[in-house]
Structure formats: C-alpha cells, structure tokens
Amino acid sequence: MKKVDKVFEDIVLKGNMGSIDLKEEAIYYNNKLYAPISKVVNIMGGQGYWNKEKTEIIIKPYKDLAQYNSEKGEIFAYGIIMSINYENGKIEIEQYLDENTKKISSKFKVSEDADIVLKRNDKKMKLDFSDLKAGEDIGLILDKDENIKAIILEK
C-alpha cells in the first residue's frame, strides 16, 4: 500500500456549473492531484456512468435531455429565434406550424436551469444561453406552464 503525499482540506473545483468544495476528497500523490470523477464530471455539466460488468466509466460532456412528456402537459415545438435579450434571458421565436402542432406563445423567459444543447449527428454539446443567435432554428421543450425546459439547436 502506497502512502498519500497530502490530503487537501480546502480545494475548490470550478467548472461550467459553478464551484464545489471538495473538502477532504482531493489527494496529492506522485506529483498528481486526484479528485472524484463524479464531482469533476458534474461540475463540468456532464454525466458519468459506471459499467460494473465491463469495469469502465463512460463520461459524456453533457447531460442527456429528458424526453418531453405529453401526458404531463409538456410540449415540443420547432421555431426560429427572431430576437434575443441576453441581459434579461428572453427570446422571441416564430413557431413552425403544421396540422399536428399546438400553437404556443412567441416570447419566453429562459430559466437558468434550462438545458441548451447543440446536436450534430450523434454528438451533443451543452451550450450557454449566450451561445444562441437570432436566425437559428431550434426545438423547444416546454413544461405545462409553457416555461422552457430545454432548447435543442441542430446543425
């Protein structure tokens, strides 16, 4: 058994999702700093999965979007971003309508916990509200009160 060179009591881990105090969970050994993978992945806005059978950890740099649930009154809609107010966190869209689409409002406040994801082929990447631009085609998942739950930008 090897001896740990040092256990840190006051290490703060910072990432896309904020910061977290690791308390006594970070160690220094053999000129390397070690921290729990789950904490690192979470603070970066990703997800980690432990596959016990294969003894492997699968790390995704984003959190999978929850599927929308029409039974809970959630709505999926397509549209184009007409304008964005970055200071107030608001967007205005023009909805793409067809015979199966429910008409929704055109102006929305995007909550800070809304998932915003860029999707290309089988790859996904988490975005910030500031990454959205007017003129982009998006998919929206709205909760029963028509608050934005997620924005999907496909390129």
**Can you tell me the distance from the alpha carbon of 55 to that of 146, in angstroms, rounded to the nearest whole number?**
42
If DSSP codes are grouped into helix, strand and coil, which group holds residue 106? coil
Say if residue 6's pLDDT is above 80: no
Q: Residue 1: pLDDT band by 50, 70, 90 thresholds? A: low
Say if residue 68's pLDDT is above 90: no
- Looking at residue 151, its amino acid is I
- Residue 22: name the closest of 44, 40, 46 by CA: 40
- Residues 91 and 140 both lie in one domain: yes
65 in a structural domain: no
Q: What is the pLDDT of residue 87?
A: 94
**Can you tell me the distance from the alpha carbon of 134 to that of 4, in angstroms, rounded to the nearest whole number?**
52
- Residues 103 and 53 both lie in one domain: no
Say if residue 61's pLDDT is above 80: no
Q: What is the pLDDT of residue 5?
A: 65
- Residues 11 and 37 both lie in one domain: yes
136 in a structural domain: yes
- Residues 74 and 148 both lie in one domain: yes
Give the CATH number, domain containing residue 101: 2.40.50.320
- Residues 52 and 96 both lie in one domain: no
- Residues 46 and 104 both lie in one domain: no
What's the whole-number mean pLDDT along residues 11-22?
82
Structural domain including 53 reads 6-60
If DSSP codes are grouped into helix, strand and coil, which group holds residue 39? helix
1 in a structural domain: no
Quick one: tokens of 10? 């006051």
- Total count of residues recorded for the chain: 155
- Residues 120 and 88 both lie in one domain: yes
- Residues 82 and 117 both lie in one domain: yes
Task: Write the pLDDT tens digit of every residue in 98-145.
Answer: 887 888 889 999 988 888 988 888 778 888 899 999 999 999 998 888
Beta carbons within 10 angstroms of residue 132's beta carbon: 18
- Residues 101 and 35 both lie in one domain: no
Q: What is the pLDDT of residue 90?
A: 94
- Residues 126 and 102 both lie in one domain: yes
Percent of the chain residues past pLDDT 70, beyond the cut: 92
- Residues 86 and 149 both lie in one domain: yes
Residue 79 · residue 91 · CB < 8 Å: no
Which DSSP helix (H) or strand (E) runs through 101?
A: none
Chain centroid offset of residue 72 CA: 21
Quick one: tokens of 126? 């988490």
Task: Write the pLDDT tens digit of every residue in 72-110.
Answer: 888 889 999 999 999 999 999 999 988 878 888 899 999
Kind of pairing, strands 47-51 and 56-60? antiparallel
Total domains in the chain come to 2
